[in-house]
Amino acid sequence: MTRTWIVVDANVARAVGGPDLGSPASSSAPCLEALEVLKKRAEDRKDVGAAISPMLKEEWDRHKSRYATRWLSAMAARGAFRYVHEPWADVADYRDAVDAQSDTARRELIRDEHVVALAMQTSQRVLSQDRRQARYLRALLSHPSTPEALSGLHWVAPDLPRAIDWIGEGMPDDDSMKLEG
């Protein structure tokens, strides 16, 4: 069976570790629910998983909570964890497009390049609270050097109205969740 892989940004791991964990007023509640639904789907259906790279793992290690540590361990125990070391083949084209952006956008796009690269090497899915990064990525789509495949990237915030259902459904291809959508 082929798994659909999602990159879980470190900001999601950080959100599930605060003192207000699970509080409906905080960002932790949707992040916690998203991780739980992903873990349950991985356990029940074995068709989804989380992808991580060395650089993203370092970020997780800096920001993770006890919950996030247990979550990663549970995903690994289910075989629903993929460690990716290879570089992204289209990274040079991506960087050319990034270099054409404003200083602020360029800084932000470079900061999370590893998240984008990892998603592009796996199933083109990212779970992140970083809406500003998503806006910069959408703007990048109009640059001629941008790899065409970037338009198919699903960038999903855990608190989006359909995010939890989408994860529970196995993260199917969904235009409304894509950068171009």
**Alpha carbons 141 and 151: distance in angstroms, whole number:** 6
Apex CA 50: angle with CA 48 and CA 54, to 5°? 155
Please give the share of the chain, as a percent, with pLDDT higher than 90: 81
Rg (CA), the chain: 16
The pLDDT assigned to 1 comes to 72
Per DSSP (E only), the strands in the chain are 4-8, 48-52, 81-83, 125-127, 154-156
The candidate with the shortest Cα–Cα distance to 174, out of 27, 55, 6, 49, is 6
Local confidence band at 86 (pLDDT 50, 70, 90 cut-offs): confident
Local confidence band at 26 (pLDDT 50, 70, 90 cut-offs): low
Class of the CATH domain delimited by 4-175: alpha beta
Say how many CA atoms lie within 13 Å of 172 toward its Cβ: 6
Residue-wise pLDDT tens digits, 40-49:
999 999 999 9
pLDDT higher than threshold 80 for residue 27: no
Average pLDDT of the residues in 112-128: 96
- Strand-pairing partners, residue 5, are 49
